[in-house]
A and B are shown apart, each in its own frame.
Chain A
Amino acid sequence: MADASTEAAIVQQIRSDYQYGFSDAEDYVFKSGKGLTRELIMEISRIKQEPEWMLEIRLKAFEVFKSKPMPTWGADLSGIDFDDIHYYVRPSEKAETDWDDVPEYIKNTFDRLGIPEAERKFLAGVSAQYESEVVYHSIREDLEKLGVIFLDMDGALRQFPEIVRQYFGTVIPMADNKFAALNTAVWSGGSFIYVPEGVKVDIPLQAYFRINAQSMGQFERTLIITAPGSFVHYIEGCTAPVYSKDSLHAAVVELIALEGSKIRYTTIQNWSNNVYNLVTKRAKAFRNAAVEWIDGNLGSKITMKYPAIFLMEEGARGEVLSIAFAGKGQHQDAGAKMVHLAPHTSSTVLSKSISKDGGRASYRGLVKVLPKAEKIRSNVRCDALILDPESRSDTYPTMDIGNQDVHIGHEATVSKVGDEQVFYLMSRGLSEDDAITMIVNGFFEPFTKELPLEYAVELNRLIKLEMEGSVG
């Protein structure tokens, strides 16, 4: 076993490689002790002054959580100790709408992460969550006037309890899986978005999630509803400090795209390598609606995430475009689920993964077609790039096709960086490292080109850091 001093040295080393690994001193309004009890759930609900029905949902979900065994079909979760986690940390009393009112040390953190600057430059609204609570949110005035709602989930529950009650848990029932149940029991923070009929939000709304404390559990809950004919692009980013103890991030994200509307949901996840990231994301797309999950998975210790789209009515379209980068000590178990419930629906999945320095990337996917869903189209493609012999990639595709009159394609490739490609680039003056990084960036290009320019630049920079982080 590593003694304390070498462990500290290792943490120090990781900190210096991962530039978001800094942490703040804790100065919280409320921080629960470790472990989860019925009393704590009641306490959270009381602090939040929630309606009784929400507390009932929470307590019921807690029972479901306890009754469900730890899933063993995917990544190794045996390292999670549910008794060694802080489930609720309240950094400040409320979500501010003016940066000046956010506590100074939190503001500094988000400044370092470039959040207010990004808001000024290219966002229509921002939400910033620190530990369990959203500490700041804002939306462009003209959008607010058009009736667009962009709030933290707690704020939405206070201001629009009927809408929340109508949709909460309708896409992802609490019993869906152990971590969805856990989230439903202790959820806090997250975003609530409602876009009224016909309104197209022209530039993205962004939420940023930051874990600061050690052994922290973050359980945000997000719900997005687009009314007929509307459009929104929501982007989320996340980071955490580096500690020797693990943290848990178990979010639930529910999307509802009503007739003819479109939701694009982009994630650039860059957790530190001590975070278990176990997220349930699911969307329902109704008649002629479209949902796109653009999912970038960097960092974390283990990620298990399979964004799903239920194609509920004719003409609905779903797309998952995801990348995963599994470095040393990481397992990215990611994928997509497409469920065709109606005729003439279509789905596309493009998943690209890179594994390196012993990292492991798995694609786990499901395409399900109900018997009545004729004339559907589905196309799944997974490309894996393995950078060294120590690393690993697997695909676990499942097809459950209940109708014969369908168009379904599935293709999976596994490749290595080609010697001839590296030589070609080196013959034009690029160093070997730069050549490999360029090939990797090119491999991710079908993903990167879907991002707003600022994020594409940032992603390429993160990939470069990941590539460098391993040298030596």
Chain B
Amino acid sequence: MSDPLLKIENLHVAVEGKQILRGLNLVVRPGEIHAIMGPNGSGKSTLSNALMGHPNYQVTDGAVTYKGQEIQEWPADERARQGIFLAFQYPTAIPGVSLGNFLLAAVRNVRGAANVKPLEFRKELMACMKDLGIRQDFAGRYVNEGFSGGEKKRVEILQMAMLKPSLAILDETDSGLDIDALRIVAEGVNRQVTPEMGVLVITHYQRLLDYIKPHFVHVLVAGRIVQSGGPELALELEARGYDELLRTHGADAAPVVAGA
């Protein structure tokens, strides 16, 4: 077996003093697609933000190793430069900054300014936008400002296409997309997946997984992975719902070892 791309051990994360992740373990190897499913509030976005290095998400215990290195001390920009990418559940608007200029700055930082020629960048950007069904004039629009939910999600995947990460975390990329958009976005992701790359697909619903086929499915409840399996687990969950899992594993069910 190849070395893990990402190894999460006993991860505990708190937000504003509130413990959200409570001992999460996960290993992602190159070429693997892992789906993380779970009810609202179970900590999926907390995991995404913590992996990307959001300063408000404190790792109170455990460790995250990426390509063999402990990344606890890396700020978000360092993680991005090292190939970690997060497609946000709720992308933030940056008024006055055009998507084109923003992406040029991003690509320059991630690939190195010397490796990015403005003309080639532009060609690449236009091609990627076309693939994702994003109109060309979006390059001149301000980042996420006034974008519909679906447009934001497409633009997140556009950024992924331009930044070519080694580890992609897609946080509910399917929410807000109609079925056609879902297919286009999923195809966009599938085109980008390489045998060296790892993908974490975070979703509430099973339907995205019809398009992006995971190798492994994990169920996150109350800050822990309570069940793992193959793709069939997603279908089971869809049929069963989360209620039973919540009863057995929810925050109210099991006694929580405070701060552990």
Contact = CB atoms under 8 A, between A and B. Distances in A.
Interface of A: 418-421, 423-432, 434-435, 438-439, 441-446
B52 A442 contact: no
- What 3 A-B pairs come out closest when comparing CB atoms? A442-B96, A445-B96, A429-B109
B209 interface: no
B77 interface: yes
Nearest to B93: A421
B96 A441 contact: yes
Contacts of A446: 96
B86 A438 contact: no
B77 A429 contact: yes
Contacts of A423: 52, 54-55, 76, 92
A418 B55 CA distance: 13
Interface in B152-172: 159, 163
A421 B92 contact: yes
A439 B96 CA distance: 8
Specify the main secondary structure of chain B where it touches its partner. Answer: mixed
Given A418-B92, A430-B109, A438 B159 contact: no
B88 interface: yes
A441 B94 CA distance: 10
B260 interface: no
B76 to A, nearest CB: 4
B105 interface: yes
B132 interface: no
B75 A426 contact: yes
A429 B106 contact: yes
B129 interface: no
B91 interface: yes
A428 B97 contact: no
Contacts of B81: 429
Nearest to A429: B109
Given A423-B55, A428-B80, A432-B77, A441 B109 contact: no
Interface string B49-60: 000111110000
A444 B52 contact: no
Contacts of A418: 92
B102 interface: yes
B110 A429 contact: yes
Nearest to B162: A428
Nearest to B142: A442
A443 B94 CA distance: 9
B230 interface: no
Contacts of B56: 419
A445 B96 CA distance: 5
Contacts of B110: 428-429
A434 B55 contact: no
B77 A426 contact: yes
Given A429-B163, A438-B102, A438-B105, A443 B95 contact: yes
Instruction: Please indicate which of the listed interface residues B96, B102, B110 has the most CB atoms of chain A within 10 Å of its own CB.
Output: B96
B87 to A, nearest CB: 10
Given A430-B109, A434-B105, A425 B94 contact: yes
Question: Which of B91, B109, B159 has the most chain A CB atoms closer than 10 A to its own CB?
Answer: B109
Interface residues of B, number: 29
B77 A430 contact: yes
Contacts of B53: 426-427
B112 to A, nearest CB: 10
Interface string B80-119: 1100011010011111110000100110011000000000
A444 B142 CA distance: 13
Given A418-B92, A421-B94, A427-B53, 17 more contacts: A421-B92, A423-B52, A423-B76, A425-B106, A426-B53, A427-B76, A427-B77, A428-B110, A428-B159, A429-B80, A429-B81, A430-B109, A431-B77, A441-B97, A442-B95, A445-B95, A445-B142
Contacts of A429: 77, 80-81, 105-106, 109-110, 163
Contacts of A426: 53, 75-77, 80
Nearest to B56: A419
B36 to A, nearest CB: 19
Nearest to A419: B56
B163 A428 contact: yes
Nearest to B52: A427
A442 B76 contact: no
15 contacts: A419-B56, A423-B55, A424-B88, A426-B75, A426-B76, A427-B52, A427-B76, A427-B88, A428-B102, A428-B105, A428-B106, A438-B94, A442-B96, A445-B95, A445-B142
A428 B92 CA distance: 12
A420 B77 CA distance: 14
Q: Which of A427, A441, A442 has the most CB of B within 10 A?
A: A427
Contact of B96 (A432, A434, A443): A443
A226 to B, nearest CB: 31
Contacts of B92: 418, 420-421, 423-424
Contacts of A419: 55-56
Contacts of B102: 425, 428, 438
A434 B79 CA distance: 16
B210 to A, nearest CB: 28
B62 to A, nearest CB: 21
Contacts of B86: 427
B216 to A, nearest CB: 25
Contacts of A439: 94, 97
Contacts of B79: 427
Nearest to A426: B76
Contacts of A442: 94-97, 142
A426 B88 CA distance: 13
A368 to B, nearest CB: 31
A196 B196 CA distance: 69
Nearest to B80: A429
